[in-house]
Amino acid sequence: MPKYNYKCFACNKEFEVRHSMTESIESCTFCQEKNVKKIPSLSFSVGKPSNAGKLVKEYIEDTKRQVSDEKDKLKREYHD
């Protein structure tokens, strides 16, 4: 079942509910007021930031060091 985000304008809280596409929520799960509205949600979950950017940056830096070391090695061999 899809997950939908709602906002209650009575208590100002947001909440998620899983239900079928044909259903809708009539009242807030917190305060039971009927002043709720479905709000657009992102197609991906927003949560704890990942380390992916840091890992990619470290990989690029390591690769650059390896290439530089290999170039230096080749230069030494050429000049010897």
- The pLDDT score that the predictor gives to residue 7 is 94
Does the domain at 1-40 match CATH 1.20.1070? Answer given as: no
- The pLDDT score that the predictor gives to residue 49 is 66
On the CB side of 33, CA atoms within 13 Å amount to 13
Q: What residues does each domain of the chain span?
A: 1-40, 51-80
Task: Name the token pair of 55.
Answer: 């890992």
Angle at 8 between CA 6 and CA 10, to 5 degrees: 175
* Exposed/middle/buried for residue 47 (C-beta within 10 Å: 0-12, 13-18, 19+): exposed
pLDDT digit string, tens, across residues 2-42: 889 999 999 999 999 999 888 888 899 999 999 999 988 76
Tell me, yes or no, if the pTM score tops 0.75: no
- The pLDDT score that the predictor gives to residue 63 is 92
16 forms beta bridges with: 5
pLDDT digit string, tens, across residues 43-74: 655 566 667 788 888 889 999 999 999 999 88
